[in-house]
Amino acid sequence: MRFLSVIVCSALLATAGLASAELVEKAKSFGLVAFPKDPADILKLAEEKAPDAKEFPLTNERVELGKVLYFDPRLSRSGIISCNTCHNLGYGGSDNIPASTGHKWSPNPHHLNSPTVFNSVFNTVQFWDGRAAHLAEQAAGPATSMVEMAATPEHIEAVVNSMPEYVDMFKKAYGDDVKISFDLVTTSIGIFERTLNTPSRFDDFMNGDYKALSDDEKKGLDLFLEKGCATCHNDINLGGNMQTFALANKYKFADIGDFKGDANGMVKTPPLRNVKMTRPYFHNGAIWTVEEAIKEMGSVQLGIEISDQDAKSISTFFDALNGKMPEIVYPILPISTDKTPKPELDY
């Protein structure tokens, strides 16, 4: 009898493995792509995806420099706002508020929500309207926007060049004859951001570990595919590409803010990695629960009604997209000098 039980259990496990293998192949056929198993291969892939990596390849010195710059609020006009203010690495790479707050505590004038910085190197474009091609170009935008960090390239160059520690870090990263420029500052920040990648249980499952997802998560993944969600949320980031927004129906919160996408009405599809950590949702941060966001996307993009039960099932799959966060040690910032520009609070 015990021998028979072993045979039955073995048969069930084999069947479950086969079903999981089929689900993986199905996900691949819908355009979903996993991170490689080896962390070194993930970094290699990030370098391949970064358009400026050939000219500025990743080194430990450049990553460390970029990290310090990312956390330094003195790059802003007020001396209060850093990249991490709106893309908080402890919050899933965003700021968990509907519309970001910038210089003089002013809300974003277009009521735009801060996208996550994690895995952003794998987006095909940056910003909600896709106007930046890569991370260094993206970093330049908020730094010089008067409603965000409100700085100028000249201010940022003056800040960095005023501190011997920064000058030394740039020399170690780029050579003794380096000229510290605004472009090299944003390049360094982008190099650091290339390393902010979060492999998840979803990747383990796609790479053959069929026990990495629960049965409920597998069911949610299958529903995600069957409902058509992967039409936009595909590739390695499950998003990050440009798509026509409100294709089937009007977005119910379309009147919050004035953002309409790019010139063709295209909007960057939010990546779904770590989506449970990055609420609120949509470009204007108007929806606070994953289930409501799923149902709204069904209506807006697919023209279908997704039931509460199905939305909950797909949301369960999203748990498997919560990734392993890189260990980030908050840096001790270089010491200001008498030449360091003073904060301009403009109160």
- Which parts are annotated binding residues for heme c? 83, 86-87, 103, 229, 232-233, 297
Q: Is 165 a catalytic residue?
A: no
Measured from the Cβ of residue 95, the count of other Cβ atoms closer than 10 Å reads: 20
Q: Distance (Å, rounded) from C-alpha 22 to C-alpha 3?
A: 29
Separation between Cα atoms, residue 273 and residue 237, nearest integer Å: 6
Question: Would you mind telling me the total number of residues written for the chain in this entry?
Answer: 347
Asked if residue 52 lies in contact with residue 188, where contact means CB atoms within 8 angstroms, the answer is no
**Which of these is catalytic: 148, 157, 217, 296?**
148
Are the beta carbons of 96 and 87 closer than 8 angstroms? no
205: tokens are 């499952």
Give the dihedral of Cα atoms 269, 272, 277, 283; nearest 10 deg. Answer: 10
* Tokens 């999981």 found at: 20
Question: 325-334 burial string, b = 16+ CB within 10 Å, else e?
Answer: beeeeeeebb
Query: Which residues are known to be catalytic?
Result: 148
